[in-house]
Amino acid sequence: MDKSKILVIDDDPVCTSMLLAILGDDYLVMTANSGDGAIELLSSVEPDLIFLDITMPDVNGYQVIKYVKKHSLNQQVPIVVVSSLVEESDQNFALKLGADDYLTKPILPNNVQKMVDKYL
């Protein structure tokens, strides 16, 4: 059986490394360190789940959510935001745009696994 594909989009190498450590043994994990890079990757890749940071230079996570939800290839892919933005308004905005869930940093491995279990 093929491993599920998870796309991690975050400009913070520490966060990306942590998610790779949590998920890398059981899933095919792809990474993008910018919103631009994510959009480019999503034009040719169909992940089963996306973990997405909001605060990134150039193209932010909100813009990536909008892109994914408009792009027919990936619009059904669940998006879990992983962000240092902890205000309820930030969370509500991400969910309104189409994110499926929201985790705040610092990342707790147990919470990441719960999201994977919920969406895959």
Task: Using the predicted structure, report yes or no on whether residue 70 has a pLDDT greater than 70.
Answer: yes
Mean pLDDT to the nearest integer, 37-55: 95
Give the C-alpha separation, 61 to 33, whole Å. 11
Nearest CA-CA partner of 17 in 112, 114, 95: 112
Q: Are strands 79-83 and 101-104 parallel, antiparallel or unpaired?
A: parallel
CATH architecture group of domain 5-119: 3-Layer(aba) Sandwich (3.40)
Q: What angle do CA 96, 102, 104 make, to 5 degrees?
A: 135
Give residues with Cβ within 8 angstroms of 95, minimum separation 6.
102
pLDDT at 1: 66
**Is pLDDT of 72 > 90?**
no
| Helix ranges restricted to H, 1-120 | 13-23, 35-42, 61-70, 88-97, 109-119
CB neighbour list of residue 88: distance below 8 Å, 6 or more residues apart: none
Residue 37 is predicted with a pLDDT of 96
Domain ranges of the chain: 5-119
In the numeric block, the tokens 């869930």 are attached to 101
Average per-residue pLDDT for the chain: 95
Tell me what pLDDT residue 73 has.
Answer: 83
Alpha-carbon span 19 to 13, nearest angstrom = 10
pLDDT bin (cut points 50, 70, 90) of residue 2 is: confident
Tokens standing for 40? 């480019």
Model confidence at 32: pLDDT above 90: yes
